[in-house]
Amino acid sequence: MNTPFADQSIILKIEMGPDQGRRAFLPDSEQSPWTLGRSIESSFPILDSQISSHHSEIRFTESGHQIRDLSSRNGTYVNNEKIFDWHPLSVDDVIRIGTTELSVKRTSDHPTPPTPSSESIELSHTILTDPGSGKGPERCPRCLQFIEIESTPVRRVSCYVFCSPCIENEDAAGRRMKNLTLLYELGRGAIGVVYRARHELLEMDVAVKILHSQFSHDSTQRERFLREARIGMSLVHPHILRVHDIDHDGDQLFLTTEYIPGQDLSHRILEQGPQPLEFSIPLGIRMAQALHFGHSHEVIHRDVKPGNILLDENDIPRLADFNIARAAQFTPASQNTPQGVVIGTLRYMAPEQLDVNRPVDHRADLYALGATLFHTLTGEPPFNTDNRLRLIRDVLTAAPPLASDRRPDLPAALDQIFQTVLAQDPSDRYPSGSAFAEALAYIG
């Protein structure tokens, strides 16, 4: 039988999940609520991809400890009962968040082993919100594993402590660029390389995109880079990646954006395969709304694809990479792209983008989002072949396939949506991002 807390210290122990075996003392005074979640800023960070960055919180009151859910993605359960508002906790209760199960124990029932010490356990959440303090275990900000800094090779960069495997091949780690300290590489492309960095004055993490050095004196690439920054700073929307600033370090241009801990949609599909409707439809709606916002500000993206949709720890998407964006409507005579050069990613490009003699407007973005959503739900784009000439022919001439042919459990209404948004003729597509979002909302 579960019993209320007595005058003893209470610990929370992870019985099942990626961080199995870790534990921490619960608060024993009426201080600020104590949070559980994936974020390194949580009081008790847990490495579990199925929990939210700030998933639930625990507080101490005169009547004992209580827990509540913080509008998490997968819910908080106590003894298999889903809870929402403050719920009392007792000894031997079992808390489940994501794939992690935690038990509530008295210290007298659960002696603390010598390593890590009880002092280290008490300090762990404080250290995580004050990185680099040098006391007890710290958490590597890249792999999220705990490090015993007294016995493990580590490297300090800015306010962080990294385990050696995470940083040993990062040649740029520790490099200063104005007020930024580079931490590690997040990705690279044809135009530049992106790093996670620490803004030392603002004391916050950002992403830094650095133009490749070979383009330092290339006026066309520099102008595209500057345009990406200007567009990003002008489009303030919850589902568009926010650009903070653009600057240069010598001849090297760089821009800073908000840092999104998580992964892009292409990696999500690669790792997990076709995504469920409950994930895909809200994503499609949010991206359609983001595109509508951009179009209303006379900007088209021209390269909507899974790799340019970033997902945070709560699966909230941001549209990124406006490097090749243009005015909301342009003709071959008004664009700066060299004649005969096709811009975009072929598997997601609208037919009119493949014909340099045809005008391209905002409906090309809707086609690309439709192809992206089709890929998200079925595991592959509508037209998918390694033969480039055949791929171009299919995009230009073939009718879009039925999503239900590739995934029979999808509702028939989705087939009609894809037939509309992937239509060859732009005039047969949805007229706006908001119209596309409204159509998807009927599915959701």
Check whether 242 has a pLDDT greater than 60.
yes
pLDDT of residue 164: 76
DSSP H helical ranges for 47-191: 118-129, 164-167
pLDDT of residue 225: 87
Structure tokens at 206: 């950002």
Q: Is 303 a catalytic residue?
A: yes
pLDDT of residue 119: 31
Any residues with CB less than 8 A from the CB of 341 and at least 6 apart, and which? 356
| Residue 158 pLDDT class (50, 70, 90 cuts) | confident
Where are the extended beta strands (E) located within 86-222? 87-88, 94-97, 100-106, 137-139, 146-148, 154-157, 160-163, 176-177, 180-188, 192-199, 204-211
| pLDDT tens-digit map of 299-328 | 999 999 999 999 988 889 999 988 666 655
The separation between CA 2 and the C-alpha centre of its own chain, rounded to angstroms, equals 39
Which has more pLDDT, 429 or 250? 429
Regarding beta strands 34-37 and 44-45, do their DSSP bridges make them parallel or antiparallel, or are they unpaired?
parallel
Contact 266, 249 (CB under 8 A): no
Q: What residue has token string 């990705």?
A: 187
Neighbours of 112 (CB within 10 A): 16
pLDDT of residue 126: 26
| pLDDT tens-digit map of 360-374 | 999 999 999 999 999
Closest listed residue to residue 44, CA positions, set 126, 103, 117: 126
Q: What residue has token string 């908000």?
A: 258
pLDDT of residue 65: 92
**Of the residues 303, 321, 361, 365, which is catalytic?**
303
Closest listed residue to residue 365, CA positions, set 385, 343, 341: 343
